[in-house]
């Protein structure tokens, strides 16, 4: 007779609970008891930390704070809280009635562990965040972009490339008239608009549905593009370059992609020093999101891009991808633009686009597994195939 139990590690899901014959009436509650999360609460005072720790202990949840919190010698501490979703929700119920603004913290924890960003509606199109990883195709109408500079400067070539990306599965098209590659120089708004506006207008003559983002840091270009038919502003400076950009967002009701960059493109790679690159990106977006929501911009219209290659080293770019899920705590959709960038070529020791596309695709798979909302890529056809494979395999495995 076998004297060993058969045991194995699994990811708990509704499917697994059904397989063991769990009561169907309570399946959703069952999942919350078996899904575990770790939360970091920053810069709380000694009283808050002690109450959180004691509350966690009453639910059997692990909580870590500074060792001197209990003595009162540590006035400020971070707190790491780990437990099942069910346990964390029990903590929020108990914290609701505690002093020192812990009721507000309870609301934030509850939203963090239970909610997805709300859907974004552009015209009659629903972008359901969390449903899949959307594909954003890149259309550079520039003479000097790092990967395809000059290829689509001619309007006819730009339109044909746009059509091929849509055919190849792009959900969004990002159109830009200024290269923001490392060490690039600025393009005047007038020249930028001369390149992009006719293309947007031409596209809208025959395509009223495809979602178009305008890749610009200039408010006047953003406004002209919105009038021409664009839907989203993709600002590599996250509103730092042009102080009028916020007014344009309010005026046009456009969605916004905020990109993290350490300085302007011409100087951003001169200093890639961070104490903790992901923590600094998180803090940067935390302030930006608050600024926008305080000015009436709905949070589901704010998309964040950690800015791969924008003032980061190769190691830092991989660190961002490794820890990208930490940015989900900001409760905004996440876009990652990693396609064909230098950190890939440096890693694989090749500048050939075919090889760079393979590297891009492998990273896109990692990002898809992490349920990132949008990948911004050059080769949309490969990513359409990747999506089909993932969908087919998901039905089998």
Structure token pair of residue 395 = 């039905």
Question: For residue 160, what pLDDT is reported?
Answer: 95
Residues 247 and 234: their CA atoms lie apart, in Å, by 15
CB 318 within 8 A of CB 341: no
Range with the poorest average pLDDT among 147-156, 269-278, 384-393: 147-156
Structure token pair of residue 338 = 């990693």
Question: For residue 114, what pLDDT is reported?
Answer: 82
CB 192 within 8 A of CB 178: yes
Across 144-153, average pLDDT? 70
Across 68-87, average pLDDT? 91
Q: Cα 296 to the chain's mean position, in Å?
A: 21
Residue 390: which pLDDT band, with cuts at 50, 70 and 90?
confident
pLDDT at 273 over 80: yes
Structure token pair of residue 311 = 């003032």
pLDDT at 8 over 80: no
pLDDT at 149 over 70: no
Q: Where are the domains of the chain?
A: 14-114, 120-396
Question: For residue 145, what pLDDT is reported?
Answer: 67
Name the most confidently modeled range: 26-35, 123-132, 316-325: 316-325
Across 66-86, average pLDDT? 92
Question: Catalytic residue numbers?
Answer: 341, 376
Range with the poorest average pLDDT among 149-153, 220-224, 232-236, 262-266: 149-153
pLDDT at 143 over 90: no
Question: For residue 19, what pLDDT is reported?
Answer: 84
Residues 273 and 21: their CA atoms lie apart, in Å, by 53
**What is the percentage of the chain residues whose pLDDT exceeds 90?**
73
Across 82-86, average pLDDT? 90
Structure token pair of residue 145 = 């972009």
Question: For residue 296, what pLDDT is reported?
Answer: 94
Where does 120-396 sit in CATH, by number?
3.20.20.20
Global pTM? 0.86
Consecutive H or E run containing 376: strand 374-377
pLDDT in tens, 175-219: 999 988 787 888 999 999 999 999 999 999 999 999 999 999 999
pLDDT in tens, 245-258: 999 999 999 999 99
pLDDT at 1 over 60: no
Question: For residue 327, what pLDDT is reported?
Answer: 93
CB 265 within 8 A of CB 180: yes
Mean pLDDT of the chain, nearest integer: 91
Of residues 55 and 113, the one with the higher pLDDT is 55
pLDDT at 90 over 80: yes
CATH class of the domain whose range is 14-114 = alpha beta
Instruction: Output phi, psi for 168, to 5 deg.
Output: -90, 15
């Amino acid at each position: 007779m076998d004297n060993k139990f058969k045991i194995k590690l699994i990811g708990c899901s509704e499917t697994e609970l059904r397989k063991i014959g769990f009561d169907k009436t309570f399946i959703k509650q069952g999942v919350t008891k078996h899904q575990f999360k770790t939360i970091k609460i920053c810069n709380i005072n000694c009283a808050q930390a002690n109450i959180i720790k004691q509350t966690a202990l009453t639910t059997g949840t692990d909580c870590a704070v500074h060792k001197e919190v209990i003595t009162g010698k540590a006035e400020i501490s971070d707190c790491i809280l780990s437990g099942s979703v069910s346990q964390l929700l029990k903590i929020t119920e108990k914290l609701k009635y505690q002093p020192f603004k812990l009721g507000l913290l309870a609301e934030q924890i509850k939203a963090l562990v239970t909610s997805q960003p709300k859907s974004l509606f552009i015209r009659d199109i629903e972008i359901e965040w969390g449903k899949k990883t959307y594909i954003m195709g890149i259309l550079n109408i520039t003479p000097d972009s790092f990967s395809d500079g000059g290829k689509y400067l001619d309007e006819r070539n730009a339109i044909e490339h746009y059509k091929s990306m849509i055919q190849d599965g792009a959900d969004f098209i990002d159109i830009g008239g200024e290269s923001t590659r490392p060490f690039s120089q600025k393009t005047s708004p007038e020249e930028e608009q001369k390149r992009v506006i006719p293309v947007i207008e031409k596209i809208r003559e025959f395509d009223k549905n495809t979602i178009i983002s305008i890749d610009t840091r200039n408010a006047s270009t953003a406004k002209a593009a919105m009038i021409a038919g664009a839907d989203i502003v993709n600002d590599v400076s996250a509103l730092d370059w042009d102080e009028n950009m916020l007014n344009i967002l309010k005026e046009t009701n456009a969605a916004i992609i905020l990109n993290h960059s350490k300085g302007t493109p011409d100087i951003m790679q001169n200093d890639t020093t961070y104490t903790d690159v992901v923590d600094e990106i998180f803090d940067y977006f935390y302030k930006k999101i608050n600024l926008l929501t305080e000015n009436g911009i709905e949070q589901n219209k704010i998309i964040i891009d950690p800015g791969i290659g924008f003032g980061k080293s190769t190691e830092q770019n991989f660190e961002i991808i490794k820890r990208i899920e930490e940015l989900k705590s900001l409760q905004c959709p996440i876009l990652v633009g990693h396609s064909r960038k230098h950190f890939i070529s440096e890693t694989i020791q090749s500048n050939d686009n075919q090889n760079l596309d393979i590297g891009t695709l492998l990273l896109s798979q990692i990002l898809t597994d992490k349920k990132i909302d949008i990948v911004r890529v050059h080769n949309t056809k490969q990513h359409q195939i990747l999506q089909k494979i993932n969908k087919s395999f998901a039905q089998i495995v």
